[in-house]
Structure 1
Amino acid sequence: MTYLSMIFFQIVAPILVLLVIGAALQRKFQFNLKAMSHLITYCFMPVTVLLNIYETTIEMSVLGQVAIFILLLIGSQMLLSHFIAKILGLNRMESAVFKNSVVLINSGNYGIPVAQMIFATQPIGVAIQVILVIFQNITTYTYGLYNLISATKSGIEILKDFIKMPILHALLLGVILNVLNFDIPQTIRIPLDHISDGFVAVALITLGAQLSQIEIKTMLNKTILISCFTRLIVGPSVALLIIYILGLDGVVAQSLLIASSFPTSRNSSSLALEYDIESNTAAQTVLFSTIVSCLTVTFVIYLSTMLFG
């Protein structure tokens, strides 16, 4: 078995299996996806973020490098998607969905599980992915909402939604406990570990259940194909260029390159549905990019290992 195929079968294929299980269970039982999403958002993900930050020591210089990288990557994706939308001649609503599909990355219930599998013995790799999730959430509730803004929400309401995000509170608490070197009592730590251990399975099964409701028949159109190419191929290529420009290497460079390769965030679909703007196209883009990412993410993981492992 080649190293590339080993990465696929040991890291990417298990994710695909969990997505298929989620899709099959949803077809049979019709879960309340909103309730499952709340369970992840308000329980599994915050606890996972809390423990990863709590257990990891990141030098301020590394944190600064990661922040600069993320800002450069997100900024370049914003500019690139804007110009491509112009070239494609998309109308205002199509352009908004296209730009969100390129810029908003599934860093949460796809990215963190992948990072946990790859960097099981290197917590900093997972911690970097957690930081990316925070930046992606900020981008979603600023840039993403700006693209789809309507009269139903003001800037103040968007800010309030962001401040109430559990993952932000978990990040801050994790940093405080880490800095104070606080020893979490076993009575609390044991259930937290159980919740964190279940995050990967619950998050990916839920994602599979969500994707199972998307129609495939109109998925292969020009806009979706170009969106996925930009997200899955151009995105990691730009990220690699930024990594070399910043002079990053080791686990930091490997983690950032892998983080740039994840598919379109389901939040881009959720926002489009909430504001009733090209919601079918947004959902189909999420599904198609998630399917294709099984191949592209495998290659990027392999490339990152060869270059920085």
Structure 2
Amino acid sequence: MTYLSMIFFQIVAPILVLLVIGVGLQKKFQFNLKAMSQLLTYCFMPIAVFLNIYETSIQLTVLGQVALFIIIFIGSQMILSHYIAKFLGLDRRESAVFKNSVVLINSGNYGIPVAQLVFAAQPIGVAIQVILVIFQNMTTYTYGLYNLISATKSGKEIFKDFLKMPIVHALILGVLLNIFNVEIPQSFRIPLDHISDGFVAMALITLGAQLAQIELRTMINKTILISCFTRLIIGPAMALVVIYCLGIDGVVAQSLLIASSFPTSRNSSSLALEYDIESNTAAQTVLFSTIVSCLTVTFVIYLSTILFG
């Protein structure tokens, strides 16, 4: 119970506090949610992702193991969510949001604090989570973005929209500057750091502002419940199978299993708002999965310690 309290008060509670702040501000001032989402998508997100990739130092052997795991794991989640959406008879817009809610994981502001708590004495565990953040960012702005745009646009229009996304440019630039070890001048680095530091707060306050317009009683519906069960229960179970099949053990296995258990990414909600695709459902799913994950993530952490600790 003490460990559960630590997880809740150090990781989940701060997220919920920012959501509540967003709810309160929206009810009082009625912000333009579209404008807030655009600020997030075209400013805060790309800069935060750019600096994350720019600063990450990765060992090739660990990267190879993690890359193979994440490709198989994310691929299995894509296939599973596709067939569940078909089974549920969801239309294209609902299906896009459902699939993103299963595949896109909150590896950033949720995953990294969890890793820092669990692997305080084992830095490799935190490093693996940082690698997963990069993969998740790439998945979000390729697969996740494709799902939403394809719900309303043709293939040619989708390709054009990909090229226009600043996050794509940020990913490429971050990789190049990292590889060639280019130092960013302080006159640019300082404002970039300021924007990046505000990303989590801006994202969660925006999400909270979305939630202010939602009736909480509508949050408990079949699609959201199945989405959360798939993300929080089936996801870690499939990850455990992949870990055993690949022969991964120790801290790497423990870190990967824990990382597979995190709730739906807030970015799935931000993108849904940006493209006006079932944004209320996306926001509800993020909120519900985050609340429920208070219990499920704690159990997975305990299980990973028993199996691989």
Normalised-by-shorter TM-score class:
0.7 to 0.9
Return the alpha-carbon distance in structure 2 between the equivalents of residues 265 and 281 of structure 1.
Answer: 13
- Please, what TM-score do these two structures have when normalized by structure 1? 0.81
Counterpart of 2:120? none
Aligned-pair CA distance for 1:194: 1.8
Return the alpha-carbon distance in structure 1 between the equivalents of residues 270 and 180 of structure 2.
Answer: 38
Sort the Cα spacing of 1:227 and 1:103 in 2 relative to 1 into closer, same or farther, 3 A. Answer: closer
Aligned-pair CA distance for 1:241: 2.1
Counterpart of 1:21? 21
Return the alpha-carbon distance in structure 2 between the equivalents of residues 208 and 40 of structure 1.
Answer: 14
Return the alpha-carbon distance in structure 1 between the equivalents of residues 5 and 171 of structure 2.
Answer: 35
Sort the Cα spacing of 1:294 and 1:29 in 2 relative to 1 into closer, same or farther, 3 A. Answer: farther
Q: Deviations over 1:84-131 (max 9, x none)?
A: 44555x354587257425534254xxx311234345674553242122
Aligned-pair CA distance for 1:190: 1.8
1:117 to 100, 103, 113: 113
Q: Deviations over 1:156-204 (max 9, x none)?
A: 1111212222222222212211222222222222222222222222221
Return the alpha-carbon distance in structure 1 between the equivalents of residues 155 and 195 of structure 2.
Answer: 34
Sort the Cα spacing of 1:167 and 1:232 in 2 relative to 1 into closer, same or farther, 3 A. Answer: same
Q: Does the CA-based 8 Å contact 2:219-2:285 persist in structure 1?
A: yes
Counterpart of 2:231? 231
Q: Deviations over 1:240-273 (max 9, x none)?
A: 2222322335665455434433334566667778
Return the alpha-carbon distance in structure 2 between the equivalents of residues 98 and 42 of structure 1.
Answer: 21
Counterpart of 2:77? 77
Sort the Cα spacing of 1:13 and 1:254 in 2 relative to 1 into closer, same or farther, 3 A. Answer: farther
Counterpart of 1:139? 143
Within 5 Å, give how 1:263-274 maps onto structure 2: 263-265=263-265
Cα root mean square deviation, aligned: 3.2
Matched residue type, 1:201 = A
Q: Does the CA-based 8 Å contact 2:140-2:267 persist in structure 1?
A: no
Return the alpha-carbon distance in structure 2 between the equivalents of residues 127 and 291 of structure 1.
Answer: 25
* Structure 2: stretches of 5+ with no match in the other structure: 117-122
Sort the Cα spacing of 1:132 and 1:66 in 2 relative to 1 into closer, same or farther, 3 A. Answer: farther
Q: Does the CA-based 8 Å contact 1:140-1:267 persist in structure 2?
A: no
Sort the Cα spacing of 1:298 and 1:247 in 2 relative to 1 into closer, same or farther, 3 A. Answer: same
Counterpart of 2:119? none
Q: Does the CA-based 8 Å contact 1:106-1:265 persist in structure 2?
A: yes
Aligned-pair CA distance for 1:66: 3.1
Within 5 Å, give how 1:87-102 maps onto structure 2: 87-88=87-88, 90=89, 92=91, 96=95, 99-100=98-99, 102=101
- How many residue pairs match? The answer is 301
Q: What is the percentage of aligned positions where both structures have the same residue?
A: 68
Sort the Cα spacing of 1:27 and 1:8 in 2 relative to 1 into closer, same or farther, 3 A. Answer: same
Sort the Cα spacing of 1:182 and 1:212 in 2 relative to 1 into closer, same or farther, 3 A. Answer: same
Q: Does the CA-based 8 Å contact 1:50-1:173 persist in structure 2?
A: yes
Counterpart of 1:105? 104
* Structure 1: stretches of 5+ with no match in the other structure: none
Aligned-pair CA distance for 1:9: 0.9
Q: Does the CA-based 8 Å contact 2:207-2:283 persist in structure 1?
A: no
Return the alpha-carbon distance in structure 2 between the equivalents of residues 273 and 54 of structure 1.
Answer: 28
Sort the Cα spacing of 1:187 and 1:305 in 2 relative to 1 into closer, same or farther, 3 A. Answer: farther
Counterpart of 2:173? 173
Aligned-pair CA distance for 1:234: 0.8
Matched residue type, 1:130 = I
Return the alpha-carbon distance in structure 2 between the equivalents of residues 284 and 41 of structure 1.
Answer: 19
Are 1:2 and 2:6 an aligned pair? no
